[in-house]
Amino acid sequence: MKIGVPKEIKNHEYRVGLTPESVQELSGRGHELAVQTGAGAGIGATDDAYLAAGAQILPDAGAVFGWADMIVKVKEPQAAERAMLRPGQILYTYLHLAPDPDQTRDLVASGAVCIAYETVTDAAGGLPLLKPMSQVAGRMSVQAGAAALEKSRGGRGVLLGGVPGVAPGRVVVIGGGVVGFNAAQMAVGLQADVTILDRNPAQLERLATHFGASARVLHSTQALMEDLLPRADLVIGAVLIPGAAAPKLVTRKMLATMQPGSVVVDVAIDQGGCFETSRATTHQDPIYVEEEVVHYCVANMPGGVARTATYALNNATLDHAIAIAGKGWQQALKDNAHLRAGLNVADGKITCAPVAEALGYDYHAAEALLG
């Protein structure tokens, strides 16, 4: 199969779909690969490194899209990229379609086969291709929140870990999944005062066992959030419903009770965000203020640590890329129900139920398209 890797064009997105090592794995199996010149610069991978791994270098995205049978990316295709997709071409990347009607419409119109990293499942019910980026984003959320709390950034001027004789900052993590767990680990490591909220009894037990006395683990209710938010310095939104838009758990009215200069970091912003006041920002312009509260809502947080994030992502995505390229997408999805769950759009049809429900499309089971 001809596999193309374009340079990412989302604002300050430095990751790349395939590392040179992944290219070598695929070329060693007889596949042809083409990488856009400079695509790996953000992770320190030169064109020469890709050439040595067995790829050819093409001058621009148009050449890559026009040549390839399968496009491997990191972030959802931007409008200019969507216009280059063609019927039957495979797109393997993050999509996050539920809060993005424009992208969904374009992908449906393209006729391309669109497999989303974030809805591929595993035998344990997890999201293995989303997990590494959730780990990165969860850890980054505390770094970003701590920086936004500095007075020069508009924050309250609170040091999360405090110092002897001065109380630490209060951190509330909404959601105890992969993002929330990693955020809490970082906040606890900084010696902040940490509270984790979740509604899943099994999750609560796991978190309580892991953190012990280092963090409070509480069953999430609206009343509890209304009690905690006015005293919080940093609130991290770490809620995910696979494939669907994130629920708005913190309303504007609730946000208005927070202290001026406190900070919210919405890691769920890729799925629309879990704060009513959230809107997507970029690494170039990451924060804004609503109700005197600093908001950090960067939609591609892991792009800021591109090398770590790219290698972590490739560790998770490569085996499925090998299967798709080696068997063709239909056979690969027939053979693997977990990969099949990643199919979001194919042949002009929506094949992910939460996306269809969120955006008002008819839902078509992936199995019906596999023959």
- d(C-alpha 345, C-alpha 355), whole Å: 10
Task: Indicate which residue of 96, 295, 320, 364 is catalytic.
Answer: 96
Cα dihedral angle (213, 216, 218, 220), rounded to 10 degrees? -160
- Strand arrangement, sheet containing 343-346: 56-58, 32-36, 2-5, 70-72, 90-93, 113-116, 343-346, 349-350
CA R_g for the chain: 21
Cα dihedral angle (144, 101, 116, 285), rounded to 10 degrees? -20
Q: Is 283 in the active site?
A: no
Task: Indicate which residue of 31, 106, 270, 338 is catalytic.
Answer: 270
Secondary structure (DSSP) of 266-292: EGGGGGT-SBTT---B-SSS-EEEETT
Helix, coil or strand: residue 336: coil
Given phi > 0 = left and psi -120 to 50 = alpha, else beta, which region is 145? Answer: alpha
b (16+ CB within 10 A) / e for 270-296: bbbbbbebbeebebeebbeebbebbbb
Tokens representing residue 302 in the block: 């892991």
- d(C-alpha 239, C-alpha 86), whole Å: 34
Residue with the two structure tokens 């595993």: 122
CA-closest candidate to residue 22, choices 53, 65, 57:
53
Q: Is 219 in the active site?
A: no
The DSSP H or E segment spanning 217 is: strand 216-219
- Catalytic residues, by residue number, are 96, 270
